[in-house]
Amino acid sequence: MEDCLFCKMVNKEIPANIVYEDDMVLGFLDISPVNAGHVLVIPKKHFKDLFEVEENYLTAVTKAIPKIAKSVLDAVDAKDFNLIVNNGEIAGQVIPHLHFHIIPRFTDDGHELFHGKEMSPDELSVIADKIKSA
């Protein structure tokens, strides 16, 4: 895609701190990281989100993620990480090019991920049934 920031990185039109690259996948440091070592992993072909991505690209990305994550953890001396996909604008996707966040985590790093809502067993059952029938 012509105006896509990530496609421009793939095409080497703009600089990026690339940490991984193969024929189908690019991994680079996030310019506004949650923690040091925060990497974005993308398919080199443009896909807006998980609903558009071709299976072979999704497979290539998901095979690369553990390799990249292990290198990130070793490099920043972290034990754990979050793997996140923001799928769509409401979910926080800022760049409309599918990307996975590898975010190394540290004790007391101040980053909170989830704020759960309490739901009754009946409410959960209704939602589960709706998902299964969809």
What pLDDT does residue 74 have? 98
Q: Say what the pTM is.
A: 0.93
What pLDDT does residue 19 have? 98
Active site residue 101: no
Scanning 1-134, the segments in alpha helix (DSSP H) are 5-10, 55-76, 121-133
CATH topology of domain 5-133: HIT family, subunit A (3.30.428)
Paired with 82 in beta bridges are: 103
Stretch (H or E) spanning 19: strand 18-21
Residue stretches of the chain with pLDDT short of 50: none
What is the pLDDT of the chain when averaged over all its residues? 96
Tens digit of each residue's pLDDT (9 = 90 or more) over 14-32: 999 999 999 999 999 999 9
Which among 60, 68, 59, 70 is positioned nearest to 28, based on CA atoms? 68
Dist. CA 51–CA 57, nearest whole Å = 12
Domain boundaries, the chain: 5-133
The single residue of 38, 97, 99, 101 carrying the catalytic annotation is: 99
